Amino acid sequence: MKRCGVVLCFVSFLLFADAKSANAAQWAFRVTFANKNGTSSLNNPSAFLSQRALDRRAVHGIAVDSADLPVSPVYINDVLSSTNGILHVTSKWLNDCVILLSDSAQIANLQNKPYVTSVKYIAHYTGTLHSKNPDGGQGKFANEQLTPVHTAPKGTGQPAFYNLTWGQTTMLNGDCLHDLNFKGQGKLIAVLDQGFTEVDVHPGFDSLRQSGRLLETYNFVKKTTGVYGFSDHGTQVLSTVAGYVPNTFIGSAPLAQIILYITEDTQSEQPIEMDNMAAATERADSMGADIVTSSLGYNIFDDFPAASLTYADLNGVSTIAAQAANWAVRKGILFVITAGNEGGNAWNHILTPGDADSALTVGAVDGSKNPAPFSGFGPNSNSVVKPDICSQGDPANVFTTGGGYFTSNGTSFATPQVAGWAACIWQANPGATPSQVRNAIRENADHYNNPGTQIGYGVPNFCAAKNTLAQLVAVNELTPASTGAINVYPTYLHSETTLSIVTNAGRNENASFILADINGRIIAVFKTSIKEGYQNNAFTIPAGLSAGVYIFKALTESGDYTSRLVKY
Query: DSSP character for 104?
Result: G
Comparing C-alpha atoms, which of 340, 342, 343, 357 is closest to residue 414?
A: 340
Q: CA 41: distance to chain centroid?
A: 28
Beta-bridged to residue 554, according to DSSP, are 513, 561
- What whole-number distance in Å separates Cα of residue 162 and Cα of residue 214? 22
Beta-bridged to residue 192, according to DSSP, are 261, 294
Relative orientation angle of helices 320-330 and 272-287, to the nearest 10 degrees: 10
The kind and range of the H/E element at 13 are: helix 6-17
**Helix, strand, coil percent values for the chain (each to nearest 5):** 30, 25, 45
- The answer to whether 377 and 345 have CB atoms below 8 angstroms apart is no
Comparing C-alpha atoms, which of 37, 11, 129, 27 is closest to residue 84?
A: 27
Check whether the bond before 480 is cis (ω within 30° of 0).
no
Q: CA 395: distance to chain centroid?
A: 22
Around Cβ 239, how many Cβ atoms within 10 Å? Answer: 28
- The answer to whether 228 and 200 have CB atoms below 8 angstroms apart is yes
Q: In 18-114, which residue ranges form alpha helices assigned H by DSSP?
A: 51-60, 73-83
- Phi then psi for 462, rounded to 5 degrees? -75, -25
- What whole-number distance in Å separates Cα of residue 92 and Cα of residue 73? 11
Buried b (16+ CB within 10 A) or exposed e, 390-404: bbbbbbbbbbbeeee
- The answer to whether 331 and 62 have CB atoms below 8 angstroms apart is yes
Q: What is the pLDDT of residue 146?
A: 57
Distances in Å between the alpha carbon of 157 and those of 154, 165, 174, 180?
10, 14, 16, 16
Give the CATH fold of the 157-429 domain.
Answer: Rossmann fold (3.40.50)
Beta-bridged to residue 261, according to DSSP, are 192, 218
Check whether the bond before 490 is cis (ω within 30° of 0).
yes
Q: What is the pLDDT of residue 517?
A: 81
Question: What residue spans define the domains of the chain?
Answer: 157-429, 486-567
Q: Mean pLDDT of residues grouped by 10 in the chain (568 residues)? A: 37 41 81 97 92 88 91 98 98 98 97 97 95 63 59 55 97 96 97 98 97 98 96 97 97 98 96 98 98 98 94 98 97 97 97 97 98 98 97 97 95 98 96 92 96 98 94 62 64 80 83 81 85 85 83 79 77
Selected from 2.60.40.2550, 1.10.260.40, 3.40.50.300, 3.40.50.1820, the CATH number assigned to the domain covering 486-567 reads 2.60.40.2550
Phi-psi domain of 174 (left: phi exceeds 0; alpha: psi -120 through 50; beta: other): alpha
Distances in Å between the alpha carbon of 76 and those of 91, 114, 357, 537?
12, 13, 31, 64
- What whole-number distance in Å separates Cα of residue 475 and Cα of residue 561? 9
3-state secondary structure of 91: strand
- SS3 per-residue string spanning 176-212: HHHHCCCCCCCCEEEEEECCCCCCCCCHHHHHHHHCC
Q: CA 66: distance to chain centroid?
A: 22
- The answer to whether 513 and 557 have CB atoms below 8 angstroms apart is no
